[in-house]
């Protein structure tokens, strides 16, 4: 086997391990998943899983890293599409809901961050990056006249992130992830009137 072929195979094995581990962590959580389960799914030895990931904690960290890097192209697309303000927030929430529904690595990451106390490694704080991005888009929305007067933008950003987290979490725990897109649409119709300009009369 040439060096290139061997490297390609190593890369493929690593990707297969990450996929199998995502599915296991998503379904069974950190404590419920053993390296041997992942090895068995792929007909690998435990040793060959450990060759790529020397510990279960390192495997979890790699999956969570992929969660954070998954948003980079999405944020770039917001720019390249010229989206801003409420349109940007809404588009991103739709993309994020679809990723959560379709991608086991995203679901596994959310679960692993929730279970951070079980994992013997430094885990990133969730939510904070989303709140910062949402705050930035809300500033654009205010400057474009999209928001009602007197809205506290930092507080609104906090709540928008919390609301979407709640929907994702409840849908996930009740086995309703397939409906996430429509849940997402509903919450926008409920929330928008509290945010948008033109609804001040009954404030």
Quote the tokens at residue 150. Answer: 């007197």
DSSP 151-183: --HHHHHHHHHHHHHHHHHHHHHTT-GGGHHHH
Q: Which of 10, 15, 32, 36 binds a second copy (CB under 8 A)?
A: 32
Calculated CA dihedral for residues 116, 117, 120, 124, nearest 10 degrees = 40
Q: What are phi and psi for residue 147, nearest 5 degrees? A: -105, 150
> Do the beta carbons of residue 75 and residue 99 sit within 8 Å?
no
Among 42, 70, 98, 187, binds a second copy (CB under 8 A): 187
Mark the segment that binds a second copy (CB under 8 A) among 42-50, 62-70, 92-100, 125-133.
Answer: 125-133
25 binds a second copy (CB under 8 A): no
Q: Which of 121, 128, 144, 181 binds a second copy (CB under 8 A)?
A: 128
Distance between CA 39 and CA 57 in Å, rounded?
16
- Are 97 and 168 in contact by the 8 Å Cβ rule? The answer is yes
Decide whether 15 or 34 has the Cβ nearer to a second copy.
34
Instruction: For the segment 64-123, give every residue that binds a second copy (CB under 8 A).
Output: 114-115, 117-118
Q: How far is the CB of 12 from a second copy (least distance, A)?
A: 30
* Nearest CA among 153, 152, 133, 121 for reference residue 93: 133
* Between 52 and 168, CB nearer to a second copy: 168
Among 34-42, 65-73, 86-94, 193-201, which window interacts with a second copy (CB under 8 A)?
193-201
Residue 181 within binding range of a second copy, rule CB under 8 A: no
Chain residues in the site for a second copy (CB under 8 A): 28-29, 31-32, 114-115, 117-118, 125-128, 152, 155-156, 158-159, 161-167, 169-171, 173-174, 183, 186-187, 189-196, 198-199, 202
């Amino acid at each position: 086997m040439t060096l290139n072929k061997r490297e390609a195979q190593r890369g493929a094995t690593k990707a297969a391990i990450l996929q199998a581990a995502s599915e296991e962590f998503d379904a069974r959580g950190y404590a419920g998943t053993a390296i041997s389960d992942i090895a068995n799914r792929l007909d690998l030895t435990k040793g060959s899983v450990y060759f790529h990931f020397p510990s279960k904690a390192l495997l979890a960290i790699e999956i969570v890293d992929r969660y954070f890097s998954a948003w980079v192209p999405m944020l770039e697309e917001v720019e390249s599409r010229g989206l801003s303000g409420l349109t940007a927030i809404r588009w991103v929430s739709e993309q994020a809901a679809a990723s959560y529904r379709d991608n086991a690595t995203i679901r596994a990451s959310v679960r692993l961050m929730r279970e951070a106390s079980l994992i013997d490694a430094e885990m990133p704080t969730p939510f904070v990056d989303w709140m910062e991005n949402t705050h930035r888009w809300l500033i654009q929305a205010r400057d474009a006249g999209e928001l009602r007067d007197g809205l506290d933008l930092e507080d609104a950003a906090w709540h928008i992130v919390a609301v979407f987290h709640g929907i994702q979490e409840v849908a996930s725990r009740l086995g309703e992830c397939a409906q996430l897109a429509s849940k997402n649409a509903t919450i926008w119709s409920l929330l928008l009137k509290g945010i948008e300009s033109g609804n001040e009369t009954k404030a």
